Amino acid sequence: MDNIQYLTIIWCSVFISYWLAKRTTLTPVLFYLLMGSLMVTFGILPEESSPFIVGFSEFGIILIMFALGFEENPILFVRSIKRSWGIAFFGALGPFAAAYFLSMYLWNDQNIAILVGLTMTATAVSLTMVVLQYERLHLTKAAMGIMTSAVLDDIASLVMVATIIPLVSGEGAVTLSTILNTTIQVVIFFGLVMFFALIVFPGRESRYESHGWFSNIITKVGLHDILAFNEGKVATLAILTFALLFGIFAHHLGLHPALGAYMAGLIMRKEYFYMTQNDEKIHTYKKTRKIIDDVAFAWIGPVFFVVLGSKLILDFELIFRVLGDAILLGMVIFWVQIISAGVAARYTGSFNFKESVMIGFGMLGRAELAFVVMEIGYVDYQIMTREVFYTLMLTAFALNFCVPIAIKLWKPFFLGEKTFFWEKKASE
């Protein structure tokens, strides 16, 4: 019964967050994080979430990422990758280098410095995309640049974590086989995605000719036929099942399941939702998408952010002790991230100035992989001290809080509703 009570409390906090967001015109995500931190600090929620709540929150982020992928155009996503490689590379290199050298200055420990660098590398794409979705900016070119570069960034960070953690933990040296194994897993995952996108999902519509019994089987029934089953009444169940299957497969390859869910949503096309009933064409896409958006952004997805916020317990004595280091680290990463990602977007991705700044703001968040690295360094191997751990927690949450605020403030300039003084002079 405790799990039901905790879920009820979390849902009440989500409702309050919506009300506060409406009153302040800020994104609810900001208040989800705040509510989680306050409730665990004052004992309303336990410090360690139960397996049920953790599983429920993980399902929430899978739903969010699937819903975001469901809205995207896969062709534009592939094109955006060509523009986003520089953002991913320089947007990760800058924060890693800055965090590493600042950590060496603060704590003079190379292993800690490497872990801090890894923590500050991966972008919290789910947080940024939810904020952009709330601000109705999630379908812009800048949002696509953030999404694709963050995916590339997280893949690179995963490879770094897999190869560097054994080195700093003393378990072994980085080997070529370790790097190749991780790289092969990533290639296998995206190969499977392409296989489903080009052959399995289209079914009879596949532009590839059938050769042999195996290809005849996989092209005989496509996703369109599955969605049309039982007059389309199980369409939502079908696509959510695919989202979970892709997430499970990504997890077994060492990737975050949310990435698998995003790719599952990305490769689904609107045409799959057309069906004929009684000689009448019916399009179930809008109805299905409304259901997905409702569960992802209104009542299951927010649980993830509340649980994420509960990871920061406000130990005020320790917080005041490390506050100076956290402010310094946060300010350095804030500016380095914006400048490195923004400049890369401008000069390697050919985005305009306003889009480049938005991409810089969108790359500020730190979430899933950052907390994984912190847990490995602090809990699993005791490489980090408690002070370092709290410094990183405060820094990560400060950066996460900056994302919705920065995007909200930049939105009028991004949309051209406000102009800078030099633009006014130029027009005169």
What are the beta bridge partners of residue 282? Answer: 275
Task: Give the integer Cα–Cα distance in Å for 251 and 271.
Answer: 29
Q: What is the signed CA dihedral for 289, 293, 295, 296, rounded to 10 degrees?
A: 130
Residue 283 — φ and ψ, nearest 5°?
-115, 110
pLDDT in tens, the chain (428 residues): 688 999 999 999 999 998 988 777 666 777 887 899 899 999 899 988 888 998 898 888 888 878 877 876 666 666 677 778 888 888 888 999 999 999 999 999 888 898 899 888 877 676 787 788 888 887 788 888 887 887 777 667 666 766 676 666 665 555 667 667 767 877 888 788 878 777 777 755 554 444 444 455 555 556 766 776 766 678 888 888 888 998 898 888 777 787 788 888 888 877 777 765 554 455 677 788 888 888 888 889 889 888 877 877 888 888 899 999 999 999 999 999 999 999 999 998 889 999 999 999 988 888 666 766 776 777 667 888 889 988 988 898 888 888 888 998 999 999 888 776 666 555 55
Q: How many CB atoms lie within 10 A of CB 266?
A: 24
- 3-class SS of residue 257: helix
R_g of the chain, CA atoms, integer Å: 22
Domain of residue 407 covers 2-416
Residue 237 lies in a domain: yes
Distance CA 337, CA 123 (A): 10
| CB 61, CB 338: distance < 8 Å | no
Pair 32, 14: CB distance under 8 Å: yes
Q: Is the pTM of this model over 0.85?
A: no
Sign for the CA dihedral angle at 192, 74, 254, 96 comes to positive
Render pLDDT for 165-213 as a digit per residue (tens, 0 to 9). 666 666 555 566 766 776 787 788 878 887 877 777 775 555 444 444 4
* 102, 328 Cβ separation under 8 angstroms: yes
Cα–Cα nearest to 374, from 365, 363, 385: 385
In a domain, 288, yes or no: yes
CATH number at residue 336: 1.20.1530.20
Residues 6+ apart with CB under 8 A from 84: 145, 148, 149, 152, 349
In a domain, 426, yes or no: no
Number of domains the chain is built from: 1
Q: Using DSSP, state whether 260 is helix, strand or coil.
A: helix
Burial of 319 by CB count in 10 Å (0-12 exposed, 13-18 middle, 19+ buried)? middle
Structural domain contains residue 311: yes
Residue 424 covered by a domain = no
> Could you give the CA distance from residue 379 to residue 388 in angstroms, rounded to a whole number?
12
Report how far residue 222's alpha carbon sits from residue 52's, in angstroms, rounded to the nearest whole number. Answer: 34
Q: Which amino acid appears at position 190 of this protein? A: F
Angstrom distance (rounded) from CA 35 to CA 64: 19
Is residue 258 one of the residues assigned to a domain?
Answer: yes
Q: Tokens in use for 75?
A: 């062709």
Return all residues near 334 (Cβ < 8 A) that are at least 6 apart: 364, 399, 402
The answer to whether position 421 is within a domain reads no
Cβ atoms of residues 369 and 157 within 8 Å: yes
Give the integer Cα–Cα distance in Å for 267 and 106: 46
Tell me the two tokens of residue 43.
Answer: 């004992």
Tokens of 132: 């952009």
